Amino acid sequence: MQFHLNASLKNVHTFSIDQTCDALVEVTTIEELIMVYQDPKWSTLPKLILGKGSNMLFTEHFAGLIIVNQLAGITLTETESHHHLHVNGGEDWPSLVKWSVDRGLGGLENLAMIPGCSGSAPIQNIGAYGVELQDVCEYVDILCLDTYTVKRLSKKECLFGYRDSIFKHALYGKAIVVAIGLTLPKEWKPCNHYGPLKSLPTETLSPSTIFNEVCAIRSSKLPDPSKQGNAGSFFKNPVITKDHFDRLLALYPNIVGYESNDMIKVAAGWLIDQCQFKGVTEGGAQVHPNQALVIINYDQASAIDILKLADRVRQSVLNKFDIQLEHEVRFMGRDNETNLDRALEALV
């Protein structure tokens, strides 16, 4: 376990912005994680657990300690009706999905190629193509930072919501996800009712065919972070009332929306596209030419470039559709998490 002082963050978050932090350390065991938190040398510094850094924008130098979660290991067991996976928090999520499909395990295929690590998945309640983590989650193991003991939370206790969980609220800063438990039914049923998956022939449906289709779709629409820095979907799909949606539908018959309980979830990418932002730049930042929902590090972008471009997008959607977009990407300021308004105020 080696500490790096005044470390660059360029290679530990997928926006690949040349940002720095006071110190950085990689941990491979829970014992190392506890040692870092109990070490008096770092007791006064703000601390941030980072997985793959795939949903994080560092808006300025982080005056604290970055702890990179590299807890590895997957255990597979089974009952008569289900396969059960115990996955340590540092495991790469896309690799986990491919690992499961390669072994003929169905249930994760719709979540293919979502960047990040397994420990981040329940925090965000990641989801794609009609499936969310909560649909396959059995439990989440957390390290409680007040007692330094590991506690197991049931799916119900995680309070999952749309891109939301207890880890963003009551347990924020109080616990670290060290492992997750997933349960996959042996009697597999395809989830192919969402978007382009509807066109797959019924007779060809299998975990691998859905996995391959999702990979093909994501590869065609989303830029590879290793080639162009980005954090995937920058904004959440907004949820609006049916009345609001009906008013917009009368003006924009092609608007894309899906029922969500008594509300309508609108495709944020469609809204941004209608504001003609594809390819628009701000300094070194750009709205991706093929996917309006993604902001990329186009040419050595700074954090302020990305923030200004995000603000322009948000304001245009508000003016045109009376919808306030919320960023899905987390913003980390000098010593704590922030948001678009506060980050702009601090830097502009």
Residue 163 annotated to the active site: yes
Q: Which candidate in 233, 302, 314, 330 is catalytic?
A: 233
Spatial CA neighbour of 111 closest among 28, 200, 224, 194: 194
What pairs with residue 285 in β-bridges?
A: 282, 297
**Taking the chain, what is the end-to-end CA distance rounded to the nearest angstrom?**
38
Q: Angle, nearest 10°, between helix axes 93-102 and 207-221?
A: 150
Q: Which candidate in 54, 91, 163, 316 is catalytic?
A: 163
Reported as half-sphere exposure (CB side, CA atoms, 13 A), residue 339 has a value of 7
Edge-to-edge, what's the strand order for the sheet holding 74-78? 74-78, 82-88, 175-185, 137-144, 149-154
Contact (CB, 8 A) for 62 and 336: no
Q: Which candidate in 138, 326, 328, 337 is catalytic?
A: 328
Contacts of 28 by beta carbon, 8 Å cutoff, 6+ apart: 1, 70, 71, 72, 90
For residue 27, what are its two tokens? 């941990």
Contacts of 336 by beta carbon, 8 Å cutoff, 6+ apart: 46
For residue 141, what are its two tokens? 């193991």
Number of residues written out for the chain? 348
For residue 311, what are its two tokens? 């603000």
d(Cα 191, Cα 179) in Å, to the nearest integer? 26
Give the β-pairing of 62-69 and 330-332: unpaired
Place of tokens 């957390």: 142
Contact (CB, 8 A) for 7 and 23: yes
Contact (CB, 8 A) for 130 and 210: no
Q: In angstroms, what CA-CA distances link 10 with 18, 20, 53, 302?
A: 5, 8, 10, 11
Q: Which residues are catalytic?
A: 163, 233, 328
